[in-house]
Structure 1
Amino acid sequence: MDKIVLKNMGFYAYHGNLPSETTQGQRFFVDVTVLADLTKPGQTDQLEDSINYVDIYDTVERIMTETPYKLLERVGSLIADELWNSNKGIVGLAVTVRKPSVPISGMLDYVEVTITRGQI
């Protein structure tokens, strides 16, 4: 299956459970992988035959920045559901939301949640 991948999209947002997370905000990073048959756009070279990755970015940006949520699971699910329901050619997708500045006293690079729909 063919893929469209948007990797490491960065956003400043206010998601989290702690008051400091919802008032100060922090950086989040999102990856989206879309599985689709891209044979037709590969032959026609027409955007209307493909899945527009600018639209994917715009959807992710809107969901990441408009409304604060407590859980990465919620944010990832909202993104996955909207992409899944608004793009008829998608047969599978994965949305990964990463939070590098987590309130954990140990050392780690980030926490991430991956939400999938369809065949991955």
Structure 2
Amino acid sequence: MDKIVLKNMAFYGYHGNLTSEQEQGQRFFVDVEITTDLTKAGQSDQLEDSINYVEVYELVESVMTGEKHNLLERLGALIADSLYQHYQGIVGLSVTVRKPSVPIAGILDYVEVVTTRGQI
């Protein structure tokens, strides 16, 4: 199987379980890895035979900059389920949502949640 990967997309959103997170907002980073068969696209050189990664980016952006959510788990599920509904050729996918500014009294780079669907 082949893969299309969008790595480290950055968005400013108002997600979090704390009121201050939903009021002030913060940066989030998202990776999407889509498993699919790209044989036809590789032969035809036509976008309609592939998964349009510009549209994938726009879908992720709409979730990340849209409605407020409490959990990274919810954001990952919304992105994964929306991609599955939009594209029929997806065999599996992985959505990673990272939050570097977490309300944890400790030192860490970020917290991330990885949501998977199908065969990766």
TM-score range (shorter-chain normalised) is: over 0.9
Equivalent pairs counted in the alignment come to 120
**TM-score, normalization: structure 2?**
0.99
Q: Structure 1: which 5+ runs fail to align? A: none
**TM-score, normalization: structure 1?**
0.99
Distance 1:30 1:84 in 2: 17
Letter in 2 for 1:81: D
Distance 1:7 1:45 in 2: 23
Distance 2:70 2:98 in 1: 14
Q: Structure 2: which 5+ runs fail to align? A: none
Where does residue 11 of structure 2 map in the other structure?
Answer: 11
Whether 2:78 is the aligned partner of 1:108: answer no
Letter in 2 for 1:96: T
CA positional deviation for 1:19 = 1.1
CA positional deviation for 1:66 = 0.9
CA positional deviation for 1:94 = 0.2
Percentage identity across paired residues of the two chains: 71
**RMSD of aligned alpha carbons:** 0.4
Runs of 4+ in 1 over 2 A off after TM superposition: none
CA positional deviation for 1:76 = 0.4
